Amino acid sequence: SERELTSASMVAEKPQRDRVRMSLPLSVAAGPAVIAHAEGFFADEGIDFEIMRLDANSALLGVASGSLDVFTNPVRSGIFNMIARGTRIQIVADGTHSTAGPCVPEGFTAPPALARRVKAKGLRGQRLATIKGGSTEYLMTRLLASQGLTTADVEMVEYPAGESSTGEFRVLDAVRFNFEPSLTVQREKGLIEMVATAQDVAPGYQRIVIGFGKRLLDDDPELGRRFMRGWLKGVRRYNEGKTEGNVSILSNFTQLPPDLIRKTCWPSISADGMINLDGVRHMLEWMHQAGYLETEIPEAVWWNPDFAVTAARELGDESRAVE
């Protein structure tokens, strides 16, 4: 009720609220923003928040051309190449990353028979599905490297995989990257087993990041800070876990049934907004070797922790308490 009062008074003083548009996937990974929106954290900051469901490329170009303010994107070469070419965008906070724990939201899976074979004898000679250029290719090379193999040692299956995938319906007789919610659904039905989690292959794997464009970085950084406060408040509420409130908000947003939302593993999101810098550096190195990066750019150009640091400081210690 205190919040309602503040928001009411803010509306009274400042009827003109600033609109912020953010691209989000239709999944639990959108949690912090969706929760912050539903709980009024953004409204508290005088932000008229708008969620856009967009593919990763549209999100980046949307921010670059100014019709979108915040992008959600997997870590991939396109972000860095755009920055290198002078597009004013920066990564400002963690989207999701892997952590050790019993509940695994992403990893390599295979149908049971194949999974058992792989676990017993390794990947050599087995079928592996991937697609070039994305962050899953990075994970796949890590997976192969962990067994001392290269792509030449396995049978590559051309199939949609990773973040581009729309259809989890097809059960592919190959090792492939998989994530929620199909991970839970398919495991429940006994269609797949986990071969290796992302955390096994790349500890702290930085899967998703969020970033700002020129408007929030330069034109109105104050709005950027307000957004970040709202976002981090959302992260903290998200990190409270599968509470009634969170489950119902996410169920509403994703249109997935509440019990499925409860059953799936929720990816980790850091409460202070910090990304796994070492992990990203390693990915950049790999991208460079693979020829996906046009030029190397200094870290300070693509990573801007200031918004998150400021917001976390202003929000005080309660964030850390939860983590």
Partner 1 sequence: MKREQLIDRAIAAGIALLLFGWWEVASRSGWISTLAFPPPSRIIANFGVLWDQGFLQKVGYTLGRFAAGAVIGAVPAILLGLLVGSRVRLNRIIDPFIAAMHPIPKIVLFPLFIVIFGVSDVSKLASIALTVFFPAFINSAAGARSISPLYFEVVRNYGGRRRQAFWYVLLPGSAPMILTGIRIAANVGLLVTIAIEFTMTSNGIGSIIWLAWQTMKTEDLYAGVVTLSVIGVLINSTIRYILRQVMPWQAAG
Positions in the binding site for partner 1 (CB under 8 A): 21, 23, 26, 52-55, 57-58, 60-62, 64-65, 67-68, 76-79, 81-82, 85, 87, 131-134, 156-160, 164-170, 172-174, 181-182, 185-186, 189, 253-256, 260, 292-294
Give 295's DSSP letter. Answer: S
Residue type, position 121, single letter = K
Classify 123 as helix, strand or coil.
coil
**Shortest distance (Å) from residue 183 CB to partner 1:** 10
311 contacts: CB under 8 Å, gap ≥ 6: 225, 228, 229, 231, 232, 273
**Shortest distance (Å) from residue 280 CB to partner 1:** 16
Classify 50 as helix, strand or coil.
strand
134 contacts: CB under 8 Å, gap ≥ 6: 74, 76, 162, 163, 164
Residue 65 to residue 88: CA distance in whole angstroms: 10
Crossing angle of helices 31-39 and 244-254, rounded to 10°: 110
**Shortest distance (Å) from residue 181 CB to partner 1:** 6
Nearer to partner 1, 172 or 202 (CB): 172
Burial label, 24 (beta-carbon count in 10 A; 0-12, 13-18, 19+): buried
**Shortest distance (Å) from residue 100 CB to partner 1:** 26
**Shortest distance (Å) from residue 309 CB to partner 1:** 28
103: tokens are 């509940």
Nearer to partner 1, 89 or 308 (CB): 89
Nearer to partner 1, 32 or 305 (CB): 32
Q: Which helix (H) or strand (E) holds 236?
A: helix 221-239
**Shortest distance (Å) from residue 160 CB to partner 1:** 4
Nearer to partner 1, 99 or 251 (CB): 251
**Shortest distance (Å) from residue 50 CB to partner 1:** 9
Q: Which helix (H) or strand (E) holds 139?
A: helix 135-146
Nearer to partner 1, 150 or 166 (CB): 166
Nearer to partner 1, 173 or 314 (CB): 173
**Shortest distance (Å) from residue 83 CB to partner 1:** 10
Residue 236 to residue 269: CA distance in whole angstroms: 9
Give 268's DSSP letter. Answer: B
Nearer to partner 1, 56 or 271 (CB): 56
Burial label, 260 (beta-carbon count in 10 A; 0-12, 13-18, 19+): middle
Unique residue bearing structure tokens 């899967």 = 207
Nearer to partner 1, 16 or 166 (CB): 166
Handedness of CA 181, 39, 323, 300 (dihedral sign): positive
